[in-house]
Chains A and B, each alone.
Chain A
Amino acid sequence: MRMPAFVRLTIRNIVVNIDPGTLIFMLGLPTLYLFVMGFMFQGINPNGGLVVQYHGIAIKYTTFLAPGIIALQAFTAGNIGGSMLWSDRRWGMFEQIMVGPFRRSEYLLGIIFVSIIFSLVGSAIMIGFALTIPVRFNITPAGIGLFILTMVVGTMLFSSIFLIISGIAKSMQAYNTITILLFFLLDFASTAFYPITNSTPGWLHVIAGGNPLSFISDILRESFISGVDYNSLYYSGILFIAMLIFFVLSLRVYKNIRSGI
């Protein structure tokens, strides 16, 4: 049986990228966030733990945090995926693949697929961990559907962002600086770890509110905690449009990397 080219490229991307460093970044860090932050923050209020007001319901901080950690997988997987282009350019494999039996679009599909696979597998593992804490999730078919869709769209959005950086970065330093900055900004100025409340300063409100990671975290909270409603679909729509815009931008950058035939 013949395997389509993009599937072969996806397999190659998985083999090349499954190394201890990637696994720690993808699974180790969020696991630490989930357990260490989750339990330590509970200690802020020694009597009865930390409670967050969410959509008018009082929930334990660990339950609030878990969907945020799951959402992080979209960012991490997108980062790993988009960075593959950078590393393939850096180590001469982009050109090597481009002189092989592949089309440019197949290479890109290989990267997007591997990001989505990493993101879905990573978030499934995180859900598993979260349930051992335990958190109180209200799992419904609609919730699972929205979760999968959101992770796919979110991952594609972040892959596109990192593809753009990979496509235009000229040096290793520039690439690392930009990705580390983005990592801190998008991770911590988002609603993944904490809610936006009346006491959040205005400027942070704007940054965190516009951060795609916040969108993903909030949609996942609705999928797993408060239930899918009109609001979740509205946010998904915005996320989808943002993804399309960045995806088109990344295609343009990608096409111009080298004037292939």
Chain B
Amino acid sequence: MDSLPEDQYEVVVENVKKSYDGKKLALDGISFHIKKGEIYGLLGKNGAGKSTTIKILTTLINFDSGTCNIAGYDLRKDSSKIRKIIGVVQQEESFDFTTVENNFKLAGMLWEVPKNIREERMEKLIDLFGLQEIRKKRMYDLSGGQKKRVQVAREFMHEMKVLFLDEPTVGLDPIMRRKILQYIREQAKNGLTILFTTQNLEEADMICDRIGIIDGGKIVEEGTSEELKLKFGTLRTVKITTQTNVEKYMNEIKERIKTVNYEDISFDENKILILGKNVDRKVGDVIGSLYEMGIEVENVSIENPTLDDVFMRVVER
């Protein structure tokens, strides 16, 4: 965990416990901190406690013990102040039973956005989220993905300091997904703090500054995507293609790159396959050694572990 002083964090969650029925704990002492302008990804299996965490932080449900602080406000004391500075896209669908446009207008009105800004913002969001053709349609005539788009876009009608997104990209096509993620990324660059949950690890890898893996109602691993991969990534393979047949230099090469700490190495005509933890970070040494021996390298490829590998290892250990 970072060592910033408490007040540098926009969201502070400390040892929060929550049980719905008084027996089973949905949250079992969850703790995490989010810096201002950071996108924090909460990853976890079904039932891990992601939505429960978001419902608590957005003042929708109570928690049993622990402390939560959002933008300097204590969740227990200042819930109504917190509600004025957050945005929430819930996992469940939510919309006003009227047209797409009215959903935007009403959101702007409810949040007291001045009328001229309201119109301008609505036009921008309708464009950005590809809603131009359906803007006059009623919400219940839309497809699932279209509804979701309106739901996410609508939340950007108002200003906020912290945004909670509970699986906002479920059901979106890849193009729209990318667009929305890009837009979210931009907002964070402008200082918006975001808590983001997803089942899509590729997506988390793409946009989250830090990731917390939640399991059984608590954070079991935390770090940047790179840190997590380093810690839990499976063995990596470095594939080097050279201009000469390397099989006859096998022993000499092995000797020269001993420091790489590989777990396995194999030679196949002009190809070398090196397998091991973190071997990708030693590629430079390997190429250097080959060069010293007068072997020209034609191509190097590294097979990276994905966040999926990390996730599998963490939640299934």
Q: Mark B77-112, 1 if CB is under 8 A from A, else 0.
A: 001100110101010111111100010001001111
A229 CB within 8 Å of chain B? no
A255 CB within 8 Å of chain B? no
Q: A96 and B88 in contact (CB under 8 A), knowing A259-B62, A260-B59?
A: yes
> Could you list 7 examples of A-B contacts with CB < 8 Å?
A8-B109, A16-B98, A92-B92, A95-B94, A99-B86, A101-B84, A102-B110
A87 partner residues in chain B, CB cutoff 8 A: 97
A98 CB within 8 Å of chain B? yes
CB of A99 within 8 A of CB of B84, answer no
Q: Which of B95, B98, B102 contacts A92 (CB 8 A)?
A: B95
Q: Which of B59, B88, B93, B110 contacts A261 (CB 8 A)?
A: B59
B126 partner residues in chain A, CB cutoff 8 A: none
B92 partner residues in chain A, CB cutoff 8 A: 92, 95
Q: Mark A1-13, 1 if CB is under 8 A from B, else 0.
A: 0110000110110
A96 partner residues in chain B, CB cutoff 8 A: 88, 90, 94
Q: With the chains together, A16 CA to B97 CA distance in Å?
A: 6
A93 CB within 8 Å of chain B? yes
CB of A12 within 8 A of CB of B58, answer no
A11 partner residues in chain B, CB cutoff 8 A: 109
A261 partner residues in chain B, CB cutoff 8 A: 59, 61-62, 75-76, 79
B300 CB within 8 Å of chain A? no
Per the CB 8 Å criterion, the residue count for chain A at the interface is: 26
CB of A8 within 8 A of CB of B61, answer no
B128 CB within 8 Å of chain A? no
CB of A99 within 8 A of CB of B58, answer yes
Interface size range on B against A: 20 to 34
B60 CB within 8 Å of chain A? yes
Nearest chain-B residue to A8 (Cβ)? B110
A203 CB within 8 Å of chain B? no
CB of B83 within 8 A of CB of A95, answer no
Minimum CB–CB distance from B84 to chain A (whole Å) comes to: 4
Q: With the chains together, A9 CA to B110 CA distance in Å?
A: 7
Within 8 A of A (CB), among B9-64: 58-62
Minimum CB–CB distance from A90 to chain B (whole Å) comes to: 9
User: Which of B80, B95, B97: most chain A CB closer than 10 A?
Assistant: B97
Q: With the chains together, A130 CA to B90 CA distance in Å?
A: 48
Nearest chain-B residue to A2 (Cβ)? B112
CB of B96 within 8 A of CB of A93, answer yes
Minimum CB–CB distance from A9 to chain B (whole Å) comes to: 7
Q: With the chains together, A16 CA to B140 CA distance in Å?
A: 13
CB of B110 within 8 A of CB of A258, answer no
CB of B62 within 8 A of CB of A91, answer no
Q: With the chains together, A96 CA to B201 CA distance in Å?
A: 27
Q: With the chains together, A19 CA to B60 CA distance in Å?
A: 30
A170 CB within 8 Å of chain B? no
Q: With the chains together, A12 CA to B102 CA distance in Å?
A: 10
User: Which of A9, A12, A103, A259: most chain B CB closer than 10 A?
Assistant: A12
Q: With the chains together, A261 CA to B110 CA distance in Å?
A: 21
